Every structure is written in structure tokens, then in C-alpha cells.
């Protein structure tokens, strides 16, 4: 909830959302602030095509729920990530399918369009495949919690707000998801990334 990226003189999200209750156009600023970040997050989960729609639907749903926004929360990030998470859930089959493709083939349908050369990747093929296997096998709620924290950069407290669960639930889901990943990664030396780029699984 700390808004370190903004100067203190700038109005916080809560003030913007309150204004948007009377002046709908004010909501455009909420979009400008958060859409790029949310879009990257959704793209990482689903790929570019579904992400475009999910993000548009997220902000529209947020706009429609603005009356229910808790104005004591200065940052809208947990709220927006929560709505996006609900919408991502509708594409669960696509998400899992793409993870399975990555697991099986080492080729990632989600990130490939963004990568020209395979050596631009920061992680080895075998690591990617095993992470994909772990992510695909997680219960959806665990994957949501894990990725909100890991990719969304939300704190446990914020992830709990986003998912509408207790902070203890987030903690235990993330822990279990981490165990799962550790187990999958067990056989891989994650430091040998360069030499493994061309290894086929």
C-alpha cells in the first residue's frame, strides 16, 4: 500500500475513484496508472491475445464497481489485481494448456512472440519446463496467490485483499506452491542456465 512511485502531491487512487463516482471520465487516470502493469501481468499468465480483452474487461468491471471501492485503501492495485484474477480464471484451460505445452516441448507459446533469440531468456529451458509443470499442476487458488506475489509484486497483505481471503491463507498457499516448485526443480541445477539453453528435455 505504500505508493513510493508517486509524489506526495499527486492524488491517490482512492481520491480518483471517489471522483470517478461523480465524473466517470476521471477513471481514465486509474487506467493510465495501472493498465500497463496489469496488462504485463495478465500477458505473462495468458499470452498477449486474451490479455488485451481481460485488461479491458478488468477496468470496465472496476469502473462499474467503483461505488463499492473501500476508499480507505489508497492504492487500487490489490483491487485491480483481484478483478483481473477473477477474469483470468475464465481462461484457466488456456493458461494450463499453454503451461503444458511449455512443459512438454520447452517452447513457450506465451512468451515466444516477445523473444527473438532464445539466449535472451533469463532461465534455462529445463528450468522453464519444470516451473511450467509445477504451475500447471497447482490448484488455481494456489497459482493465483503465488503469481500475485511473484509476478504482481503484491505483498501477502495485498494478495489477501485481492483474493478476498485471510492473509494466513495466502501464506500457506504460497508456501505450498513454493514446495511444489522446489520439488519439480529438484533435479535441475538452476545456475547452469547458459549451457542448457539448447538442451532438449
Partner 1 sequence: MDEMTQLDRLRSEIPTPELSGAAERRLLAEIATSSQPRPARRQRRRVNLGLGLASGLAAAVTMGVVITNGDSGDPGQTPTVQPYSMAAVTLQRAADNTSKQEELHPKPGQFLVFESQTMDPVDSNNENGHSRFLSRSKRTVWLPVDGSSLDGVLFMEVLPPKPYPGWPLPPEAKQEVGTRGPDRLADFDQRAEYLRTDYAYLSSLPTDTAGMRKHLYLELEPGARADYEAWDRVGSMLAEGYLPAAQRAALFRAAATIPGVETVKKSEDAAGREGVAVAMVSTEAGERQEYIFDLKTYQYLGQRTVVVDADKAEAPVGSVLTATALLKVSVADSAPVVNGG
Closest approach, Cβ 22 to partner 1, in A, equals 10
107, 88, 91: which is closest to 147 by C-alpha? Answer: 88
Binding region for partner 1 (CB under 8 A) out of 7-15, 71-79, 81-89, 155-163 = 81-89
Residue numbers 146-185 binding partner 1 by CB under 8 A: 146, 150-151, 164, 178, 181-182, 185
Instruction: Decide if residue 77 touches partner 1 (CB under 8 A).
Output: no
Binding region for partner 1 (CB under 8 A) out of 3-11, 104-112, 136-144, 155-163 = 104-112
| Signed CA dihedral, 151, 8, 82, 38: sign only | negative
Closest approach, Cβ 159 to partner 1, in A, equals 14
Instruction: Decide if residue 127 touches partner 1 (CB under 8 A).
Output: yes
Joined together, the cell numbers standing for residue 70 give 473501500
82, 88, 86: which is closest to 157 by C-alpha? Answer: 82
Q: What is the three-class DSSP state of 200?
A: coil
Rg (CA), the chain: 18
Residue numbers 11-40 binding partner 1 by CB under 8 A: 24-25, 27-28, 31-32, 35-37, 39-40
Residue 79 has what DSSP assignment?
Answer: H
Quick one: 182 exposed, middle or buried, by C-beta within 10 A (0-12, 13-18, 19+)? Answer: exposed
Q: What are phi and psi of 111, to 5 degrees?
A: -100, -15
Residue 190 has what DSSP assignment?
Answer: T
Closest approach, Cβ 120 to partner 1, in A, equals 6
Residues near partner 1, by CB under 8 A: 24-25, 27-28, 31-32, 35-37, 39-40, 43-44, 52-53, 55-57, 59-61, 63-65, 68, 83, 86-87, 89-90, 93, 108, 110-111, 114-115, 120-123, 127-128, 131-132, 146, 150-151, 164, 178, 181-182, 185, 190-191
Amino acid at each position: 500500500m505504500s505508493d513510493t512511485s508517486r509524489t506526495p502531491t499527486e492524488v491517490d487512487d482512492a481520491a480518483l475513484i471517489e471522483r470517478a463516482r461523480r465524473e466517470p471520465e476521471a477513471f481514465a487516470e486509474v487506467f493510465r496508472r495501472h493498465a500497463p502493469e496489469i496488462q504485463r501481468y495478465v500477458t505473462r499468465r495468458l499470452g498477449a491475445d486474451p490479455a488485451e480483452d481481460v485488461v479491458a474487461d478488468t477496468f470496465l468491471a472496476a469502473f462499474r464497481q467503483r461505488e463499492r471501492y473501500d476508499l480507505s485503501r489508497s492504492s487500487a492495485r490489490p483491487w485491480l489485481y483481484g478483478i483481473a484474477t477473477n477474469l483470468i480464471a475464465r481462461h484457466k484451460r488456456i493458461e494450463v494448456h499453454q503451461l503444458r505445452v511449455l512443459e512438454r516441448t520447452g517452447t513457450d507459446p506465451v512468451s515466444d512472440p516477445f523473444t527473438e533469440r532464445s539466449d535472451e531468456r533469463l532461465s534455462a529451458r529445463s528450468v522453464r519446463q519444470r516451473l511450467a509443470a509445477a504451475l500447471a499442476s497447482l490448484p488455481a487458488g494456489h497459482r493465483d496467490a503465488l503469481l500475485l506475489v511473484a509476478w504482481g509484486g503484491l505483498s501477502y497483505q495485498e494478495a489477501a485483499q485481492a483474493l478476498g481471503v485471510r492473509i494466513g491463507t495466502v501464506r500457506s498457499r504460497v508456501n505450498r506452491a513454493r514446495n511444489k516448485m522446489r520439488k519439480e526443480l529438484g533435479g535441475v541445477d538452476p545456475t547452469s542456465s547458459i549451457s542448457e539453453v539448447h538442451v532438449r528435455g
